[in-house]
A = this chain, B = another copy of it.
Amino acid sequence: MQKIYIAGVGQTPVRENWEKSLKELAGDAALLALEDARLEYPEGIFVGNMMSGSANRHREGFGLESACSSGAAAFRAALMAIASGELSSALVVGVEKMTDSPLAEITSSLATAADADLEGDFGVSFVALNALIMQRYMHEYGWKTSDFAAFSINAHANAVSNPNARFQKAISQVDYARAGMVCEPINLLDASPVSDGAAALYLSAAPPAAGRKISVAASAAATDTISLQHRANPLRLSAAEESARKAYQQAGISPHEISLFEYHDAFSIMAALSLEAAGFCEPGQGPRLANDGSIAVDGVIPVATMGGLKARGHPVGATGLYQLVEVALQLREQAGKTQVKAPRWGMAQNIGGSGSNIITHILHQE
C-alpha cells in the first residue's frame, strides 16, 4: 500500500457525557483533528461506531462496524480508499456514547460482539465469555487472580497524567484484592469501563509541510470464529497472531523494534493474550511481563501508555482510534509524563468480539 500520513489527531475526554449528543462528540473530535492538521476539509469521512444501530439510532456517512474493532476498521477502510486513488485525504472518526442508555440495553448491545446463535441466545454476556477464557487460562498455566492485578495497576498509573482519561487515579494491589466480583474470576478492576468519547485522525496522501512525519507502516486484519466453542484453542488469539505477523512483515520489522504497544485491554485476560499473540512472550507468559515491569513506560515493551482501555476508558467504537491517536502522540513525543524514550515504531491492536476480528496497525516516525 502507498505511504499515508497522519496529518492530525483529536480526542475528547473519556467520561460520562450527558451534555453532548453522539454527533456533537464526533464533531468535537473531528474539529480537533482538523485544527491539528491545519488543512482543508478532507475528501472523505469514515465513521466507526459500534452501537449506532442498537443504542444510538444514528447513521451518517460511511459507517463501519466491527464490534469493538470498529475504530480500526474505519481507519483501515480509509487507508484503502486513499491507496485506491479514490480519495487523497480522509477524516476517520470513532465515536461511542454508552452511558446514557439503560444498562440492560448496553449489555445486550455488547453481546452483539458474541455469536448470536451459539452464545448470545443462551444468555451469555460479553464479560462472561471473557471470564470463561480467564478461568481456563488460570487452570492451564497456574496463575492466580492476583497475578492479573499488575495489568490494571500499570494502566491506572499511566492514566494519572492523561487529562482525557476516565480514571486519573492510581490503584494498588490492595484495591484490586478488594474489588467487587463482576463475573468470576473477573473483578471490577479487571474490566474496562462503559464510557462516552470520540477520537479522530486526519489521513493524507501528502506528507506534512512541517513537523514530524508520522506514516502508516502497516495495516493488517485477520479473523477467527466468533464463537469460542469453534476455536482450536480458546487461549490463543490466532487472529491477533496472524494480524501482528502480517503487520511486522509489512513494516519490515520484528517485535523487539516496537517502541510501544497500545493493546486492547478490555479485560486483564485480553491484555495477557495480546502480549502473547503479538510475540512479546510465549503463550501463558503474559502475566509475567506485567509483574516483572516489562510493560511499564520505561520497560521493554510499554503498553497502554495513556491508560489503556482499562483506565482511559473503552467507548467501544472509538477505542481503536484513541489507540492510534495515542501512538501518534507518542511518536511525535507529545505524550507528556508517560512519554516513551525516542520511539520510532508504535503498534496498536484493536480486538473485535472475543478475538474474532482483529486489526493491527503500525505507525512510523520517519
Contacts and interface: CB of A to CB of B under 8 A. Distances in A.
A357 B221 CA distance: 27
A217 to B, nearest CB: 14
Given A53-B51, A84-B80, A109-B53, A65 B66 contact: no
A85 interface: yes
Interface stretch (A110-118, A144-152, A160-168, A318-326): A110-118
A53 B67 CA distance: 9
Nearest to A73: B62
Interface in A70-129: 73, 77, 79-86, 108-109, 111-113, 116-117, 120
B226 A59 contact: yes
Interface in A215-240: 219, 221, 223, 226
Contacts of A80: 77, 80-81, 83-84, 86
A356 interface: yes
A59 B113 contact: yes
Contacts of A195: none
9 contacts: A23-B117, A50-B53, A52-B53, A60-B356, A62-B64, A63-B65, A80-B83, A80-B86, A83-B85
Given A53-B112, A59-B112, A62-B221, 8 more contacts: A21-B117, A57-B112, A58-B116, A61-B223, A62-B357, A63-B65, A64-B65, A83-B86
